[in-house]
Amino acid sequence: MLMSGAALAIALAYFGFLFAIASWGDRRARRDGPQSGAGSGPLIYALSLAVYCTGWTFYGSVGMASTGGYAFLPIYIGPILVFTLGWPLLHKILRIAKAQNITSIADFLAARYGKSQPVAAIVTLGAVVGTVPYMALQLKAVSSSFAVLLRYPEIVMLEQPAASPIWADSALVAAIVFALFAILFGTRHVDATERNEGMMLAIAVEAVMKLAAFLAIGAYATWGLFDGPADLLRLASAEPDLRHQFASGVDGSSWITMTALAGLSVLCLPRMFHVAVIENRDEEHIRLATWLFPAYLAAIALFVVPIAAAGLLLFPEGTMDRDMTVLALPMSGRQEILTTIAFVGGLSAATGMVIVSSVAIANMVSNDLVVPILLRRRGNGIDRLDMRRLILGTRRVTILVLMLLSYVYYRMVGTGFPLASIGLVSLAAVAQFAPALIGGMIWRGATGTGAFWGVVAGFVVWGYTLLLPAVIEAGWLSAGILTTGPFGSGLLAPQRLLGLHLDPFVHGVTWSLLANSVAFIAVSLRTVPRPIERLQAGAFTDTDLQWSHAGSEPRIGSVTAEELRAVAARYLGPERAEHGLAGLSGSSTGEADLRLIRQTEKLLASAIGAASARLVMALTLERHSVGKGNALRLLDDATAAIQYNRDVLQTTMENVAQGIAVFDKDLRLVSWNRRFRRLLAIPAEMEPAGIALPEILRFGALHGLYGQGDPAALVARQLDVFLASITSPVEQHRPDGSVLEMHTCRMPGGGYVTTFSDMTERVRAAAALAEAKDRLEQRVRQRTAELARAKATAEEASQDKTRFLAAASHDLLQPLNAARLYASSLGDRMPNDALVGKLDGALASVEELLGELLDISRLDAGAVKPERQSFPLGRLFATLAVEFMPLAEQRGLQLRILPCSLAVDSDWRLLHRLLQNLLANAIRYTPQGRVLLGARRVAGHVVVQVCDTGIGIPEDKQALVFGEFRRFAEAPGVEHGLGLGLSIVERIGRVLDHPVTLHSIPGRGTVFGVRIPRGVSLPDAQADRQAADAQATPAERTSILCIDNDPTILDGMRTMLGGWGCRVQTATGLAAALAEAESGAPDLILADVHLNEGEDGFACVQAVRQRLRQPVPAALITADRSAGVKERAESLGLPVLNKPIRPAALRTLMRRLTGACPAAE
């Protein structure tokens, strides 16, 4: 059981874990530099954006779904739309922020409106007012979850925090820990533009923790407490209240308002602006964030409804706080580990928001409120203070005060409201920055005065319509104001202004943003922008123009360069100031020129914001007999004039194809264009201004741009190349294959202008042209040699395969032949024995398999040579009818073979085999119906078609049916074949040049077609003879000499032929054959081709004939199906039967050779 001590230990252990993560990230960043990626990689950046998901997301969205159905979804939809569709706006904000050294959203708006101090101050105050309720929400979430955890496993409605003393309030402990974390890891640098690597790493880890925890609770609610989504939906649908809540549709006005508000909050929330803009190291990181952050939001929203529905089903109304459903569900099942995970997830959600928000607000307060006040109080020795320590101290005190204010709001107002209500009020507050923010980036005519009064008007209406009702409902003011309005005027009722009846929240957001926008536009139209405002408006609306640092500018007053360096050092420290002002030394008299003043102002802006930096520079100039007002005007006017000239120059530089860089006489970079940065791979976070050429070259050497070797040696070599490029262009070949042409010219008065041209494509094209001939000739030679080798290899393989086929045919088919002979003999003796029939069928299957495998091998080896002749197709159809009619009848199918009088030009034997396989397949894969065989004329050809009404072949498998061992029978009653028949069909069709086509519809049947050239019609008188031959048997007492080296074969022949009434003589070789012939001359010789000891059947037949001095009829019986055997037999006039022999074929052959045909026994 989780007790109070265990809960506190879990929270402290988690905070300790975050401290360790953040500390490790900071140490690694200090050790390896900012490029180490410890807390600044694209993945860390994308995950840190999940700081948007706070305790409201973790707890409040479920509570909102429990009372409002799908009303929570717009809070997720808004940011998803911004990141998926509004990414160009995000890129623009990032580019502006990096160019202007922006430190916060207040600094961003102040910089846009002429570095206006009033705009920065009002935005900062508004951010504080809008953020305090949101931070109070996080304290409530932590406090409530801790209180629920202490009652484990009991689930009760929590008491109000006011009932417990402050020192025992977990919210106060959380506020102190949050403040400590933010101070330690968020206020380490005075430069607010420097990245807090450790803090961002901790925020990213928290993002993973809260997502994993929420998904775990969602999975438990769906599959642990119920039997999955279907079961949960069924039970929820059975409850009328739940069914009405989730099926009653959506409120269009509320959804539109909340979606817009959530989208604007991504840009305007101080914490989101800080993470998305200030902590961004590389603009390219946003590519990953544009899909990963929306995916994160979609994932965390996935289980909101299932969790809410499970809570509503399990816990009756009034028994618990619906915001705590996430904790209550695992508690109800006594899942201690899962309860702990849920508590840690909620703690993560609250921690990230509070820490980042407090750091962002602290930067704004110190830069835009405290520093300007201190600068105006110069009489108290402010000039002698260490501003770095003062600024850091101010930020740390601000964090503590902000935490205290949030806790006070939580105790006084926030305890009686749901988490969602508090969050929505805060979002409506920060949305008041949107008109000035978005309008300032698209409208050049917007002014600082308009922005100031727009924000003021928006916050006044927001406070009246949204914040005041919250205070009233908390019991601090009279409730009558909500109904009758102040002074009894109903038209001024906070939630029904001018009698407009809307949802209270929609009402407040609509009126506040309307007042804001109207004031912003109206005042901007009636005011004239100052020169500095016009200058900044151009920089913000046209981000293609970049600040460069070219040229020497007129002097202002008598301020010296050393004074400006001292001012920068007071705010940033000597090291940072020296680095930022390197290469800018002012005039020869020591007085600062405008270039140095401008760079000093920009450097100060990174620490104290644009508005305060401008004020510091004005006060510095004021000391030298220039009034503050005159100093500001002089600085603004001169800067505007200079910027105009720079814009013209920069626009010219950016529109040339070459990279351009300008170096001073000390080889320090003073001006450049974007093309130069891309060609030299200078990263976005590396500030080029004032950097020495050796440093740029050293960066390239460390990143492998100049090859492998000692960096110092590579830098020295590149400096030599730079000097060499002064006299003539120099080409540089890089390891990645790119080629740059560098050309340098000296400038009058010192300095250099260098152009870099990417010559990669031109050099590659020239090299390709130069090598084309050699490459082509070499390719021809190589291809010729490859073809010769391939031909030799193919011929050798074909010979090897032919030899293998001969051996395999003999060795495999010899025993099978003997078995078939015995089976045939048994069949003659016991014609009614079923066992004999099964034996013969099994042997026939083996014969079929081996025959088909050997046929495939012979067809692939090219060993089959077609013997084309013209013959009547009808005769072939009649033969097929005799073969397949019994099989079709046995399977209950109707086999119809259409009469045909056409002649074809083909090989009888191969075409017979092709059509056999097609008919066998059709009968095998047709469970019921019919099979049709027919032919028709098609343009000088005959197309033979085999049609069936079988199961058909799916379209995606039709291209596969001609492969070996491919079978697609899935219907009941369908027999599986060997999967070789269609493979043989395809090969025979290829050998005969008879294209085979296929058309099939699953469930309706299949049509195979074979296209055959037409032949010459001839008289056909052989059909009757063939039928008689098939029934004929040899004469009784015919003497037959059988020659075979296998005794088993001889024994089988003796048994079968003896059963036919023949006198059988056997011999295993030439000597034995001659001896048998002398003992009695045979009427017929049946000889195997391959015998022992180099003898063959050809020699045996010739020897017996010579010994007997008469041409004894003879035939060869062999398993060798090679073309060589067939050709030699034809030359000697010897017929050939292939093993295993069919008894009917042997009877026919014996009758033809001996001329006798009595009936068989």
Q: How confident is the model at residue 1111 (pLDDT cuts 50, 70, 90)?
A: confident
In a domain? residue 942:
yes
Q: Looking at 758, 779, 800, which one is the last position of a domain?
A: 758
Same domain for 797 and 920? no
- Neighbour tally for 968: CB within 10 Å: 17
- Residue recorded with tokens 């209406």: 461
How high is the pLDDT of residue 1021? 45
Higher pLDDT, 317 or 610: 317
Same domain for 814 and 694? no
- Cα atoms in the 13 Å half-sphere on the side-chain side of 484: 6
In a domain? residue 380:
yes
Q: What is the pLDDT of residues 124-140, one digit of tens each?
A: 998 888 888 888 878 88
Q: Tell me the longest C-alpha to C-alpha distance in the chain.
A: 148
Q: Hey, which of 1023-1027, 1069-1073, 1135-1139 has the most confident mean pLDDT? A: 1069-1073
pTM for this entry: 0.55
Question: Do residues 326 and 342 touch, judged by C-beta distance below 8 A?
Answer: yes
Helical ranges in 480-593 per DSSP H: 480-484, 504-526, 531-541, 561-572, 574-580
User: Is pLDDT at 362 greater than 80 in this prediction?
Assistant: yes
How high is the pLDDT of residue 787? 85
In a domain? residue 137:
yes
Same domain for 642 and 783? no
Q: Looking at 1002, 1020, 1038, which one is the last position of a domain?
A: 1020
User: Is pLDDT at 977 greater than 80 in this prediction?
Assistant: no
As to burial, measured by CB atoms within 10 angstroms (0-12 exposed, 13-18 middle, 19+ buried), residue 841 is exposed
Q: What is the pLDDT of residues 779-831, one digit of tens each?
A: 888 888 888 888 788 777 766 665 665 555 556 666 666 666 666 667 666 76
Beta strands across the sheet bearing 930-938: 894-897, 930-938, 941-948, 1005-1013, 996-1001
The tokens for 733 are 């070949």
H or E stretch including 271? helix 270-273
Same domain for 90 and 182? yes
How high is the pLDDT of residue 1036? 52
Residues in contact with 295: Cβ distance below 8 Å, sequence separation at least 6, in sequence order: none
Let me know the angle formed at the C-alpha of 48 by 46 and 53, rounded to the nearest 5 degrees. 105
User: Is pLDDT at 470 greater than 60 in this prediction?
Assistant: yes
User: Is pLDDT at 739 greater than 90 in this prediction?
Assistant: no
Higher pLDDT, 175 or 122: 122
Number of compact structural domains in the chain:
6
Residues in contact with 823: Cβ distance below 8 Å, sequence separation at least 6, in sequence order: 836, 839, 840, 843
In a domain? residue 585:
yes
Q: What is the pLDDT of residues 544-599, one digit of tens each?
A: 444 443 334 444 445 666 766 777 666 666 766 676 666 565 554 566 666 666 67
Beta strands across the sheet bearing 1039-1043: 1063-1067, 1039-1043, 1084-1087, 1114-1118, 1136-1138
Length of the chain (residues): 1161
**Cα 491 to Cα 501: distance, rounded to the nearest angstrom:** 11
Asked if the bond preceding 74 is cis, omega within 30° of 0, the reply is: no
Q: Among 469-478, 531-540, 674-683, which is the least confidently predicted range?
A: 469-478
Domain span at 594 = 548-654
User: Is pLDDT at 243 greater than 60 in this prediction?
Assistant: yes
User: Is pLDDT at 1061 greater than 90 in this prediction?
Assistant: no
Closest among 705, 712, 767 to 742, alpha carbons compared:
705
How high is the pLDDT of residue 652? 67
The tokens for 347 are 């703690």
Higher pLDDT, 552 or 654: 654
- Residue recorded with tokens 């949960």: 232
Q: How confident is the model at residue 418 (pLDDT cuts 50, 70, 90)?
A: low
The tokens for 924 are 């095998």
How high is the pLDDT of residue 117? 84
Q: What is the pLDDT of residues 992-1040, one digit of tens each?
A: 888 999 998 888 899 999 999 988 876 544 444 444 443 444 445 688 9
Closest among 904, 851, 918 to 876, alpha carbons compared:
904
- Neighbour tally for 792: CB within 10 Å: 10
Compute the average pLDDT of residues 1076-1091: 86
**Cα 695 to Cα 684: distance, rounded to the nearest angstrom:** 16
Higher pLDDT, 1024 or 768: 768
Same domain for 339 and 386? yes
The DSSP-derived string for 38-69 is: TTTSHHHHHHHGGGGS-HIIIIIHHHHHHHHG
Question: Do residues 1065 and 1040 touch, judged by C-beta distance below 8 A?
Answer: yes
Higher pLDDT, 167 or 285: 285
**Cα 609 to Cα 117: distance, rounded to the nearest angstrom:** 10
How high is the pLDDT of residue 921? 86
Question: Do residues 329 and 314 touch, judged by C-beta distance below 8 A?
Answer: yes
Pairing mode of beta strands 1005-1013, 941-948: antiparallel
Same domain for 190 and 297? yes
Let me know the angle formed at the C-alpha of 168 by 165 and 171, rounded to the nearest 5 degrees. 105
In a domain? residue 807:
yes
In a domain? residue 536:
no
User: Is pLDDT at 887 greater than 50 in this prediction?
Assistant: yes
In a domain? residue 430:
no
Q: How confident is the model at residue 1057 (pLDDT cuts 50, 70, 90)?
A: confident
Same domain for 389 and 415? yes
Question: Do residues 1107 and 1074 touch, judged by C-beta distance below 8 A?
Answer: yes
Please report, for the domain that includes residue 1133, its CATH number.
Answer: 3.40.50.2300
Please report, for the domain that includes residue 744, its CATH number.
Answer: 3.30.450.20
How high is the pLDDT of residue 1034? 47
Q: Among 198-212, 492-506, 967-981, 1107-1121, which is the least confidently predicted range?
A: 967-981
Q: How many helices (H) and strands (E) does the chain have?
A: 46, 19
Same domain for 998 and 1073? no
Tell me which DSSP letter residue 444 carries: T
- Cα atoms in the 13 Å half-sphere on the side-chain side of 362: 31
In a domain? residue 72:
yes
Q: What is the pLDDT of residues 199-241, one digit of tens each?
A: 888 888 889 999 999 999 999 999 988 888 888 888 888 888 7
Same domain for 753 and 800? no
Let me know the angle formed at the C-alpha of 268 by 262 and 269, rounded to the nearest 5 degrees. 80
The tokens for 483 are 């109904």
Q: Hey, which of 215-219, 230-234, 399-403, 638-642 has the most confident mean pLDDT? A: 215-219
Q: Looking at 961, 990, 1020, which one is the last position of a domain?
A: 1020
**Cα 572 to Cα 453: distance, rounded to the nearest angstrom:** 33
Same domain for 1034 and 983? no
Same domain for 513 and 559? no
Let me know the angle formed at the C-alpha of 997 by 995 and 999, rounded to the nearest 5 degrees. 175
Same domain for 646 and 685? no
Output helix, strand, coil percentages for the chain, rounded to the nearest 5. Answer: 65, 10, 25
Mean residue pLDDT across the chain: 77
Q: What is the pLDDT of residues 566-579, one digit of tens each?
A: 776 666 667 666 76
Q: What is the pLDDT of residues 21-66, one digit of tens each?
A: 877 877 777 666 555 555 568 888 899 998 888 887 888 888 888 8
**Cα 614 to Cα 637: distance, rounded to the nearest angstrom:** 13
Q: Among 2-16, 200-214, 438-452, 946-960, which is the least confidently predicted range?
A: 2-16
